[in-house]
Structure 1
């Protein structure tokens, strides 16, 4: 036979082999794999061993397991030596200690203990299996057609990238959804008005604006020119309620470093209220520094650059000079009863750390913003008719709870201080950061780059 006849015979032989290796006679990638393995075994003259058959069944059992897909891939990588474990790192000539340092520097968290990881893995698998029944569902896919909304309702199309969507009633007098009825809690929001701008509140906010501005001028004048010991009583005459709880730390003696007052961040006047409650001068470290807010500030303000080593050197120099320093590790304000993740920088500076829990009450205007002019934040707070502040001085950290004497990591100390303040305020601890807030509300990372930051100039 010629070449054409040999090609025809080979095609017929290949078609017969495909039909023998597949049940439905359809050629696919899977059938090609089995055909290739069959040809290899026929060429070498060795049949499939029982161990290879068991391995094949093991892989089938792995991919058919009722666990998330990422868990299957993780186990597959573990079996194939694809994870960055100690043996694999040594094989790649990578020191495991360097790998841990890299992870800590990038995530600012240490790797959890092995038993904690195993317990969490089992918990997540059990949760997955509880909401996802085992086996393949035999339900028939039904095509859904568009239906008009019910009477009094409007349909809202939502992009698949969003995790929540709600039906909005056309009736404007319909009650709003309660906070506990939402799928996830609201942590970040912006805007100056505290209340919903219905006609009553909107009219009051506009009519009260001139009166509030005059009242803010009076309160700023009191902050600047009234003796510090009398400011708290003068505030009370103008409607500001300042409650002080706990025992303030004693003033530093000559030649000793100052106290590091670590507080949560509610408004731009947090350091001013802490200074008044403490009864003496403090220095504030903050990211957002403007000439207007510095001009009306009762306390000296030093700008943070966002660069770890530079900021660390600045705060350490202030403490060594005997000044009390106020820092807000959250890096930005949060209006809801939540605490953002605390930066661990402060824990490396000193062992004399005093947690301070602050809470602000604002009835008309918010004294914080992400998209507006942050130089007006103190003014809007002072414009409220009867604003309130509660400053609670908590006990200083014990030596065994610090980095120096106790040998704890900076992240552990920061998390401990966050938990202590949250328990006092009955707030919820979150893992959100300053960058998360500004990316969601203002589409930026929240860093303030101005001339004072770049030169490291002290503003007051």
Structure 2
């Protein structure tokens, strides 16, 4: 019943920042924010920020949006249409076609900040129930840490390859979380988790 009430609020109050404040104030969500949230771009020609999460749950983009108190769009590969409809924030799907997704992300960043709805190696078939499990918890608690923004000289716009930038971001996340980097490729991870190489025909 507790989860039903809390999730009903998410559906009835679709704006994540309002949902976030309501949940914090009325339902007792304890939130800890570390670091300094990145302010929105100040220029009139908006160029959004891509927030990269380690994604323990499906709620990460919602919490990021709530803490920032501004529009954030969640990108995903395989979020079900049901959860897309119930999501308190805008979402859009990626296709796994590199050039097509690159254009979609560029268009997305032209109007808003983006947060990927992707998953770490803890993903299994229960991921869609993350919001239910979280809202069942009598004492909800969330901790979010904002790391430093990636320097411009470490980005693709300064000639770095996409692989090098991605590896750098992953190393920074791993260092902060005290994780050990592996040499697993995307195909290796899909093989371990799903029994296939992640290719969609």
User: Given the superposition, is the C-alpha separation of residues 313 and 230 from structure 1 closer, same or farther in structure 2, using an over 3 Å criterion?
Assistant: closer
Contact 2:14 2:88 in 1 (8 A): no
Q: CA deviation at 1:275?
A: 0.8
Superimposed CA distance per residue, residues 29-64 of structure 1 (whole angstroms, 9 cap, x where no aligned partner): xxxxxxxxxxxxxxxxxxxxxxxxxxxxxxxxxxxx
**Alpha-carbon shift at residue 305 of structure 1 (Å):** 1.0
Q: Looking at CA atoms only, which structure, 1 or 2, has the larger radius of gyration?
A: 1
What are the within-5 Å matches in structure 2 for residues 181-220 of structure 1?
214-220=1-7
For the Cα contact (< 8 Å) 1:370–1:441, is it kept in 2?
yes
Find the partner of 2:10 among 209, 212, 223: 223
Q: Choose the corresponding residue for 2:39, options 225, 243, 250.
A: 250
Cross-structure match for 1:114? none
- Using the TM superposition, give the Cα deviation of residue 380 of structure 1 relative to its aligned residue in structure 2, in angstroms: 2.6
Structure 1 unaligned blocks of 5 or more: 1-213, 336-368, 450-460
TM-score (norm 1): 0.39
Residues 447 and 384 of structure 1, relative CA distance in 2, 3 Å threshold: farther
Structure 2 stretches lacking a partner, 5+ long: none
Matching residue of 1:338: none
**Residue equivalent to 1:409:** 161
Aligned residues: 198
Higher-RCO chain (CA-CA 8 Å, sequence separation at least 6): 2
Q: Distance in 2 between matches of 1:435 and 1:269?
A: 25
Q: Which of these residues, 353, 358, 371, is aligned with residue 125 of structure 2?
A: 371
Which residue is equivalent to 1:207?
A: none
Confirm or deny: 8 A CA contact 2:37 2:146 kept in the other structure: yes
For residues 335-385 of structure 1, the C-alpha deviation after alignment (integer angstroms, 9 at most, x for no partner) is: 4xxxxxxxxxxxxxxxxxxxxxxxxxxxxxxxxx5235x533322332233
Q: 1:385 to 1:435 in 2, by over 3 A?
A: farther
Question: For residue 422 of structure 1, what is the aligned residue in structure 2?
Answer: 174
Q: How far did residue 258 of structure 1 move?
A: 1.1
Cα separation, partners in 2 of 1:434 and 1:248, compared to 1, 3 Å: same
Moved over 4 A (4+): 446-449
Please show how residues 133-172 of structure 1 align to structure 2 within 5 Å: none
| Aligned counterpart in structure 1 of residue 66 of structure 2, from 264, 276, 286 | 276
Partner of 2:149: 396
- Normalising by structure 2, what TM-score? 0.83
